[in-house]
């Protein structure tokens, strides 16, 4: 898309959304400027494949829709970081749909706002909350596993006390339960509306919410062209926080990184995501736009190997790959230093219960060849290295470097480029032998990350099909000891499961990336969030 096409399309959407007029010529220049001032123009590489986070295979851009269009009982507070940027605060929970709550060792009881309404004007009740939580723990896949991560597993746990009071009963002590209620998945849906669209084959109305928003949040989707554009309009009746300054958000998908950079540099777009690290570095140095960068909490870019697929079922093969990766080249040529290295530690034995932290592997081609021969593959083998095209700006150069380095030890890896809309679905099939991927744990605790990525019962983000009863015992032990406040036991369990992960190396951590966002200087209110997407509610245009 060139500049003229971009401006023409976004201007038409802005005018039509603001006034509902079929003839933009009726607008005065002052009206057009006012509408533009109240409209955020956002560009990114890819867009949502589903408007509902409960949907099958919903991708990360879809999370942005759910976050802005649905409310939760609680949210997180914010904090100012040493560099002056603003981040969510994992240790501070604040009211959203609930105006207050009463927490005991056995349950938590929420009192809802009495003036909250869904986008169609229907009141939000405790019955909607229960139906939404029942849906989350029942639909399966990622949403249900996310709820399980906080010991929210059964519909029977959610009890309607009256129209504006709901109780959640705990099935075990778990310090992750309360923060898990503030992530994106337990959003509250208009149950009457969605149930009216449900069918016997689709009892939770997932087909309807895939293409329509049914929440009470600060924004609602009024237009969606998959792969092209999403338009959000402000919900002027929103009562769960200060009314946002932006009346509308136009989110355009611009696949070319060069075009996205040009649009932000010329001032034609307000915010640009998903640029290569080199572009962010140069934009920051150029000074025309503002660049904000934050380390992604509990996040790791990694090379993963499916341990059920020969030859990656052999430990020596996985270790050979770990020694063949060109770590520093990736840091220099792909990330341009905008990441924390997760390699080259003194050993693979750790002493602190913190995550992320580096492993002891480094680039050693001779050792990699030796291990490959020991595994029975002295001449190497052929495989595929798969990555998400939705983040091609990082993944493609990264995988090319890995491909070149693996070739030095005889592994011929053909690059398999999977469209972003299909990536999550392909991962969950557990058929890909070798992948480059990124995962960040929403709840910033080591045991949460490992529950998702290494626990044998997890069918979603354990992309390596890794199962080890010892690993499961350590992860479960860490969760139990944290809930009990037994910190010596917690330290033993956490260091134990990190050591085991580094020893058996089903996935090879590369780095902890920064989340960078380029925006026009007059824009204020940007906040870093655990889900790595934009929160429109706090953004303002000066």
Q: What is the full DSSP assignment across 288-315?
A: SSEEEEEE-TTEEEEEEE-TTSTTTTSH
pLDDT at 300: 97
Q: Where are the beta strands (DSSP E) in 313-441?
A: 339-341, 381-388, 411-418, 434-440
Tokens 């006034």 sit on residue: 19
Q: How far apart are CA 283 and CA 518, in angstroms?
A: 8
How long is the chain?
542
Fold assignment, 299-513 = Dipeptide-binding Protein; domain 3 (3.10.105)
Residue 507: which H helix or E strand, with range? strand 507-519
Tokens 């109780």 sit on residue: 167
Q: How far apart are CA 341 and CA 361, in angstroms?
A: 11
Q: Where are the beta strands (DSSP E) in 153-204?
A: 158-162, 165-169
Q: Closest by alpha carbon to 251, among 9, 523, 537?
A: 9
Q: Where are the domains of the chain?
A: 3-67+217-270+520-541, 90-193, 299-513
Domain 3-67+217-270+520-541 classified CATH 3.40.190.10? yes
Q: Closest by alpha carbon to 322, among 280, 359, 354, 268?
A: 359
pLDDT at 424: 85
CB 67 within 8 A of CB 86: no
Q: Which residues of the chain have pLDDT under 50?
A: 15, 17-27
Query: Following DSSP, what letter does each residue of 334-365 receive, concatenated?
Result: TSTT-EEE----S-S---S--SS---S----H
Which tokens sit at 136? 């989350």
Q: What is the separation of C-alpha 278 from the centre of its chain, rounded to a whole number of angstroms?
A: 22
Angle at Cα 235 formed by Cα 234 and Cα 237, nearest 5°? 145
**542 Cβ contact partners less than 8 Å away, ≥ 6 residues apart:** 521, 522, 523, 524
Task: Work out the end-to-end distance of the chain between its first and last CA atoms, rounded to an integer number of angstroms.
Answer: 27
Q: How far apart are CA 126 and CA 177, in angstroms?
A: 19
pLDDT at 12: 55
Residue 517: which H helix or E strand, with range? strand 507-519
Fold assignment, 90-193 = Dipeptide-binding Protein; domain 1 (3.90.76)
Total-model pTM: 0.87
């Amino acid at each position: 898309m060139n500049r003229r096409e971009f401006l023409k399309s976004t201007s038409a959407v802005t005018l039509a959304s603001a006034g509902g007029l079929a003839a933009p010529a009726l607008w005065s220049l002052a009206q057009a400027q006012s509408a533009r001032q109240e409209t955020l123009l956002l560009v990114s590489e890819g867009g949502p494949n589903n408007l509902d986070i409960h949907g099958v295979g919903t991708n990360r851009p879809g999370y942005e829709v759910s976050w802005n269009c649905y409310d939760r009982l609680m949210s997180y507070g914010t904090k100012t970081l040493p560099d002056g940027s603003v981040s969510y605060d994992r240790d501070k929970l604040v009211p959203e749909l609930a105006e207050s709550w009463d927490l005991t060792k056995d349950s938590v009881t929420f009192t809802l706002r009495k003036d909250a309404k869904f986008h169609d004007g229907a009141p939000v009740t405790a019955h909607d909350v229960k139906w939404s939580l029942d849906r989350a723990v029942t639909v399966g896949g990622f949403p249900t596993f996310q709820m399980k991560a906080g010991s929210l597993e059964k519909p029977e746990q959610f009890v309607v006390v009256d129209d504006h009071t709901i109780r959640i009963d705990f099935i075990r002590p778990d310090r992750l339960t309360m923060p898990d209620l503030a992530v994106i998945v337990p959003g509250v849906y208009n149950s009457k509306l969605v149930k009216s669209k449900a069918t016997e084959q689709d009892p939770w109305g997932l087909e309807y919410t895939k293409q329509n928003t049914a929440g009470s949040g600060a924004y609602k989707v009024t237009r969606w062209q998959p792969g092209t554009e999403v338009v959000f309009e402000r919900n002027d009746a929103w009562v769960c926080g200060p009314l946002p300054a932006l009346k509308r958000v136009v989110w355009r998908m611009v696949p070319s990184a060069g075009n996205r950079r040009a649009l932000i540099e010329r001032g034609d777009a307000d915010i640009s995501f998903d640029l290569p690290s080199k572009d962010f570095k140069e934009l920051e140095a150029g000074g025309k736009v503002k660049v904000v960068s934050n380390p992604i909490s509990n996040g790791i870019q990694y090379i993963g190997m499916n341990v059920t697929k020969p030859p990656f079922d052999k430990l020596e093969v996985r270790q050979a790959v770990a020694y063949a990766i060109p770590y520093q080249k990736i840091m220099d040529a792909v990330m341009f230093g905008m990441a924390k290295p997760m390699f080259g530690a003194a050993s693979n034995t750790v002493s602190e219960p913190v995550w992320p932290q580096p492993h002891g592997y480094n680039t050693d081609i001779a050792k990699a060849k030796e291990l490959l021969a020991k595994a029975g593959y002295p001449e190497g083998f052929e495989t595929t290295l798969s990555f998400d095209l939705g983040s091609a700006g990082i993944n493609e150069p990264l995988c090319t470097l890995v491909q070149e380095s693996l070739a030095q030890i005889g592994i011929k890896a053909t690059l398999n480029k999977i469209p972003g809309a299909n990536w999550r679905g392909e991962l969950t099939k557990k058929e890909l032998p070798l992948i480059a991927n990124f995962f960040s744990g929403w709840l910033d605790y080591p045991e949460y990350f490992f529950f998702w990525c290494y626990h044998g019962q997890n069918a979603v983000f354990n992309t390596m099909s890794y199962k080890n009863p010892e690993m499961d015992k350590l992860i479960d032990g860490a969760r139990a000891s944290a809930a009990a406040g037994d910190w010596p036991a917690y330290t033993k369990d956490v260091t134990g499961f990190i050591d085991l992960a580094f020893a058996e190396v089903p996935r090879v951590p590369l780095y902890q990336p920064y989340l960078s966002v380029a925006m026009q200087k007059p824009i204020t209110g940007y906040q870093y969030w655990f889900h790595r997407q934009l929160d429109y509610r706090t953004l303002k245009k000066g």
